[in-house]
Structure 1
């Protein structure tokens, strides 16, 4: 599922003379992308893939007004980069996966900021637990 939120940053002057003086920032979010990955520090986690979920929110800058193909982020491209990071070999920590996804997402044109959450829904602990999650935010720069 993808969602888009928009917030307008207006120019310093009350009446901007041209639309190019303002930009919009859209937050594009892909929620609960599900994958099987070899992730964790236990010996069996290096060999047996387990379910993980990833949320990715990207702050995308574009010219004010109606969006065009030149100033949007393709959801498919975001999904593909997340899938590539998550399914590429064994990773020890959720934090590593989040950092790698964030770095790749910030390489996309127009993306200024990201929020990445990586979840393990099936964690073997002695009590009830919905999931373990690591969330991080990174900015270009």
Structure 2
């Protein structure tokens, strides 16, 4: 399966983190999603119902990321991946990268990110 849908740089303000100022004030995060699926049938029939609506997927990811504050961004990325896989039967796999460019690290760095990858093959 080589088909995929990619959504890159989805911005969200959220209150995830371990430190009090992170949960109180929040910060900017960004999301990248890569979805693996077979969209040949959707393309052949020009039929949105046979693929993943990326506008809906973006809203799902945004809603989860902007929702309940979590200490770990690993938890947020995993929840997005698990929710998307459950909601879209067309998905064979999904990879969610959650970027936290303003993580509380007292060094100069560009980005911190976690990646959650889920697939139907690995589901119980």
- State the TM-score, normalized to the length of structure 2: 0.86
Unaligned 5+ residue runs, structure 2?
A: none
- Higher relative contact order by CA 8 Å / sep ≥ 6: 1 or 2? 2
Q: CA deviation at 1:68?
A: 2.5
Contact 1:101–1:116 (8 Å) recurs in 2: yes
Decide which structure has greater helix share: 2
Larger radius of gyration: 1
What CA distance in whole angstroms lies between the structure 2 residues aligned with 1:94 and 1:27? 24
Gap runs ≥5 in structure 1: 1-5, 8-25
Normalising by the residue count of structure 1, what TM-score does the alignment of the two structures yield? 0.77
Q: Counterparts of 1:69-80 in structure 2 under 5 Å?
A: 69-80=48-59
1:101 aligns with 2:80: yes
- Report the RMSD for the aligned CA atoms in angstroms: 1.7
What are the residue-to-residue correspondences of 1:1-141 with 2, within 5 Å? 7=2, 26-63=3-40, 66=44, 67-107=46-86, 108-140=88-120, 141=123
Aligned residues: 118
1:123 touches 1:129 (CA, 8 Å); kept in 2?
no
